[in-house]
Amino acid sequence: MRFLDDQAAARRRTRLCLALLALVVLLMALASAGLALVFLPREVIDYLGGRGATLVKTGLVFTGIIAGASFWKVRQLARQGGEAVVRRLGAVPLDDQTDPRTRQLHNVVAEMALAAGVPVPRLYLLPDEPAINAFISGYGPADASLCLTRGALQLLNRDELQGVVAHEFSHLLNGDMRLNLRLLGWLHGISLIADLGQELFSDRTSTITRVDGNHLLGWLLGTVLLAVGGCGLFLANLIQAAAARSRERLADASAVQFTRQPQGLANALKKIAAHPLQGRLYHRRARSVAHMVLGDSGASWFATHPPVLERIQHLEPDFDEWQLERLRAEALLPMGVAYVAGGTPPASPPPTAVALPVAPALADTPLRALPPALHEVLRQPQQAAELLLALAGTPPAAGGGEGARWVNSLHASLRLPVAQLTLPAIRQLPRPVLRQLLIDLKAGFAAAPDLELSRYCLAQIIQRQLIASLAPGRQRLSGRGKLAQARTAVLTFYAVAAEQSHDDVQAARRAFLLAVARTFPGLHCSYAPPRPWRPALDGALAQLAQLSVAARTLVLEGLLCLIEADERVQTAELELLRLYCTVLELPYPALDEYLSLADDKLSQKGGRSADTGQVISAL
């Protein structure tokens, strides 16, 4: 799985950048403590235990100030979710789908969300930004918000929108959004020292000047703190830019894996490069999200993205600098003027009043299988909440039942996609209503101990996504456990999966042993499914969450062998697969690629089932 190797490499580079950021904080604290020795009276230094003790204590105080401010900012952003970031830039919700271009964007985002196995993010628009740009914010998939500029919505076609959305979803699956919010928090803490120096420099809040009347001392202290904070902020911005460039390269490669065609993202990057603004945002807070956007036009040292020509050439190797300059020259010509070197004039864009065609790829997604009336239900928060309860198996309230009727009419493979489509509407509900919805879901889940595996997985995924929407800061998984430490949990997990997805005991045993051989080569064990299986599966998943990414990946590979054992993918197996990847934060692009290869092998054997094809297309 090359995707996971690239992701691990990006994580290593990111950890290095975070270590350098921590070093900057320590150097700032040390410099501030050294300044304290210069400005503090001799009596205070003696009271603190001498120069060495004063240096340590004041250093710890400054470190605590920076860390405390950073932690507070991260918690604030995590508690508010991704919507807080986009609203700070003046973004407005893009819920109305009457405009053809808006409806096209909603379709593209829904397709990508269903392919990735994550909740559909809520869409926002920056109406005052004519540049072509986009970014996704949030602490995790369940509270993600996707924001596009007016220029991106108006100037990008469907293939280019797919490339842009796939790029942003790659950030979502790679955990970049959580990193982005943490970087924002640490930059806030570091800038606090510079802000404190600015206040003292301006002689507005200095207690020293009011008590002693020594204006010069306050001015000098403010100047020095401003210099220390400014140097720290300079270095922190350099580190932030380096971390962002590393993640952008991975996101570009992952976007191609999503869409299976690099041309869409490459053309979108060409339009960004040729546009007069080159992705530049006008908002005064735009610099704070520079590391989150699709395209950045910052200076070379602080550039949060690789050069756009380099990014295009990774996607389209034959593209050169001359072609880029030609595109920029053509973009400066008014509509109707011939292209450079006597080319034909550009075609006029289609009027927005004309319904845009649906891409052929959409015919293979679950969106086409849903009736129009159900799409309307999914856009209404209250109706979407009732539908979500029915999907999780919760009995309807008195006077309800409409959601249950919709669920009964759906094919089993469409239940999870429909659940993901309800999230944008449900997130519009007040927090007390969301809490009550979660309580009802848990009560209904506990009252139905005989749920089949498919419905169990669906209910678990829904509950976890709602919890993540209510408390985004809890979306954290940083286990470092070894695979050998969770061997019993892995065997329990495989045994439940084999028993619940196979009617024949011999077939279940064969699938179980294949999975064990893949994950634990040479291990001899017996096939013994636990009774009852629900609490055993709950405990196994909790233990697997403590594993490292590499160990979780090995367990995933064994589960894939178990699924492929009978040469068909059943709905219950797919839902367990989705549950495993959702709980343990493993990316779906690699999973989709693996299953596609397995499906090709089954096709060559002549044993490919109709259920397999239907499920694969739903990924």
How crowded is the C-beta side of 312, counted as CA atoms within 13 Å?
A: 20
How distant, in Å, are the alpha carbons of 32, 115, 578 from that of 619?
54, 4, 9
Q: What is the 3-state secondary structure (H, E, C) of 207-235?
A: HHHHHHCCHHHHHHHHHHHHHHHHHHHHH
Pair 113, 120: CB distance under 8 Å = yes
Burial of 605 (0-12, 13-18, 19+ CB in 10 A): exposed
- List the beta strands (DSSP E) in 310-442: none
> Which tokens sit at 220?
């000098």
Pair 152, 134: CB distance under 8 Å = yes
Q: In this structure, how many other beta carbons lie within 10 angstroms of the beta carbon of residue 46?
A: 12
Residue 567 annotated in active site: no
Backbone conformation region of residue 268, classed left if phi is above 0, alpha if psi is from -120 to 50, else beta:
alpha
DSSP annotation of 282 reads: -
How distant, in Å, are the alpha carbons of 144, 289, 516, 580 from that of 473?
12, 19, 35, 21
How distant, in Å, are the alpha carbons of 218, 219, 251, 268 from that of 223?
8, 6, 41, 45
Catalytic residue among 168, 248, 499, 564: 168
Query: Please, what is the end-to-end C-alpha distance for the chain in angstroms?
Result: 17
Q: Which residues are catalytic?
A: 168
